[in-house]
Amino acid sequence: MREIKTVGEMYSFSRRAKIHSKKIGLVPTMGALHEGHLSLVAEAKKRSDIVVVSIFVNPIQFGENEDFSRYPRDLKRDKKLLQSMGVDALFLPQSREMYPEGFETLVEVKGLSEKLCGRSRPGHFSGVTTVVIKLFNILSPDCAFFGEKDYQQQAVIKQMVKDLNLPVEIAALPTVREYDGLALSSRNSYLTPEERKKAAMLYQTLTLAQDEIKKGERDARKIVSRAQSLLFSEPSIRLDYLQLVDPQSLEEVKKVKGRVVIALAASIGKTRLIDNLTINAD
């Protein structure tokens, strides 16, 4: 596995691959890799000639008082995992090169970025889209792979790609979960053993809402109210939002019809977690 630390070297690597008609698959990450990330790598290997994984804890997607400084980092372990998966190149850009002195440009997807997590994390998604389009420009990937756990993120990136006519396919892959349903996340490492037990309630809340829909309930307010009651039974869990939204627009729905995303964000202790389920009510 080749390690690449500069934009210039990564640019040259990808251009040489293109000259030889190689299909590049990109898996953008912030490191602290888990089985969810590795499932993206496995799919990238199936669809690509060359797989590149980037590890970059992107400072501009973290808000004030968020967890940038303590975000989990374990590069040595990450490298071993990626080597075992047969990754072709690991891109490790430096913040000072990605955002040099005088950097003034942000890419923003209006509308989608302002809903759900966008309400409590203003500026987060412009940080995400800016770093992603920079990676796309540097690597020129044919396909980029994201997890559906971050449903809003992949929706925002798909919209950016569509709006800006970017020649890259966005592949969104299913959420990988632990034994009790908790969605895999690098931030799960923040949880104490007691908090980890309580975290399972997030998935239980989503499945409760899903079951209400399966039973025939179509009033979104009633579905949310019944599902929320489970989380409200645990005072240490602070709910940010629980909404039923349209899969494309992320607009909150009043009546469930067709495909709908049940989206949730909550904090347990100092750890904010997100999750979602998609169900077709028809």
Residues serving a catalytic function are: 37
- The residue assigned the tokens 């709910």 is 239
Query: Angle 188-190-192 (CA atoms, 0-180°, nearest 5)?
Result: 100
Structure tokens at 5: 């630390």
Region of 30 please: left (phi>0), alpha (psi -120 to 50) or beta: alpha
Structure tokens at 37: 């990330």
What is the full DSSP assignment across the chain?
-EEE-SHHHHHHHHHHHHHTTPPEEEEEE-SS--HHHHHHHHHHHHH-SEEEEEE---GGGS-TTSSTTTS---HHHHHHHHHHTT-SEEE---HHHHS-TT-------TTGGGSTHHHHSTTHHHHHHHHHHHHHHHH--SEEEEEGGGHHHHHHHHHHHHHTT-S-EEEEEPPPB-TTSPBP-GGGGG--HHHHHHHHHHHHHHHHHHHHHHTT--BHHHHHHHHHHHHHTSTTEEEEEEEEE-TTT-PBPSB--SEEEEEEEEEETTEEEEEEEEEE--
